[in-house]
Amino acid sequence: MKKTIVALSTLAIIFTGCAQNQTTDNHKADIKKEAPVKPEHVKVSDKDLQSNIAKTMQDDFAVKETQSVKEAIQILGETNHVLKNIADNKVKEAKEELAKLIGELEILMTRDPNVALVPVSVGYEINDAVVDIPTVYEITDAAKDAMDEGYYQLAKKLMDGLSSEMIVKTSYLPLATYPDAMRLSAALLEEGKKEEAAAILFKALNTLVVKQQEIPLPVLRAEEFIKLGADAMLGKDKDKKEAALLYLDNADYQLQLAEAMGYGKKDKEYKELYEAIKDLKKAVKKDKESKDKFEKLSEKIKNFKERLFFKKDSTKTK
């Protein structure tokens, strides 16, 4: 897990001051003045909030061990036994076992094509820019100025500082490649090339496909603040309305921060989420039934998160 603390706003301001005239400087001051004010801190600690987010992510990305996955893992275990037979010079047994495993794999993948990639582990990293919305505006403005002036590397460094995301890496065994690897290994055994045959199987067993997805932390924080607001309203605390409203203020701010940082920029659903939060705050203030509204808002932000960010992954082999 890693955490990047951004301290680029000073650099952004210095460059902007050198590159722009007084009119533009005044315009930037207006933008900063109009930027949303970050709400006061809530009762939940940053550590507990991060723990809640991690739990949600673990639930979302948990490796599900289906019957097909269990069968695939069993076949992989038997492949290790083939390697042992080769090492023990039991070539005939190794070839017979390979033929059996090839047949089992092909039947399994015909029955369940999803098992072509077998999930084995999920890892998480944090890349968090500690910024507020006015600072985001300052950095993006400075980056634009740098680009206009031809300072491309400076612009890149400035924009690199605006990443605030949880990086989820899921590792898979590419089971679909195993039948061909097994056939090649069997052919090498026929030629008496035991070391090469074993090397092919060993490489197959140790090849992983990694799918990486970046989920914006401000969106995840907004999702957790909404849950905390709902929990507050279910409690018996005399100040529960104030607590719920503060959680909703923070959820709204985090969504605005995500939008300012360019996560799902100009997506109409941001506006819908802002309106839903505004409507929910009115219900809380007027002591109206809010449970259903909290549930609908939670579902809306969950769908928003999954639609925009869960499918943005890249795959690489290592």
Structural domain contains residue 298: yes
Residues 200 and 227 in one domain: no
Range of the domain at 177: 67-124+165-213
Say which residue the tokens 């989920």 belong to.
Answer: 215
CA atoms in the 13 A half-sphere facing the CB of 146: 20
Q: Which residue has the tokens 């996560």?
A: 263
40 in a domain, yes or no? no
Cα dist. 60→76, 217, 242 in Å? 26, 15, 30
Two tokens, residue 228: 């905390």
Per DSSP, the three-state class of 57 is helix
> What mean pLDDT value characterizes the chain?
84
pLDDT value at 247 more than 50: yes
Contact between residue 110 and residue 201 where contact means Cβ atoms under 8 Å apart: no
Q: Taking the complete model, does pTM exceed 0.85, yes or no?
A: no
Same domain as 227, residue 93: no
- Assess whether pLDDT exceeds 80 at residue 48: yes
74, part of any domain: yes
188 and 251 inside one domain? no
Residue corresponding to tokens 């605005």:
256
* pLDDT band, residue 34 (cuts 50/70/90): low
Q: What six digits make up the tokens of 187?
A: 């052919």
Please say which residue of 173, 196, 213 terminates a domain: 213
Indicate if 222 and 186 belong to the same structural domain.
no
* pLDDT per residue as tens digits for the range 251-298: 999 999 999 998 886 677 899 999 999 999 999 998 788 889 999 999
Give yes or no: residues 243 and 294 share one domain. Answer: yes
Q: Look at the chain and report how many structural domains it folds into.
A: 2
Look at residue 225 in the predicted model and tell me its pLDDT. Answer: 95
The Cα 77–Cα 64 span in angstroms is 19
CA 60 from chain center: how many Å?
Answer: 10
- 252 and 307 belong to one structural domain: yes
100 lies in the same domain as 227: no
- Is 8 within the bounds of a domain? no
Q: What is the pLDDT of residue 193?
A: 95
Residues 198 and 303 in one domain: no
Q: What is the pLDDT of residues 164-209, one digit of tens each?
A: 999 999 899 999 999 999 999 999 999 999 999 999 999 999 999 9
- 162 compared with 19, residue with greater pLDDT: 162
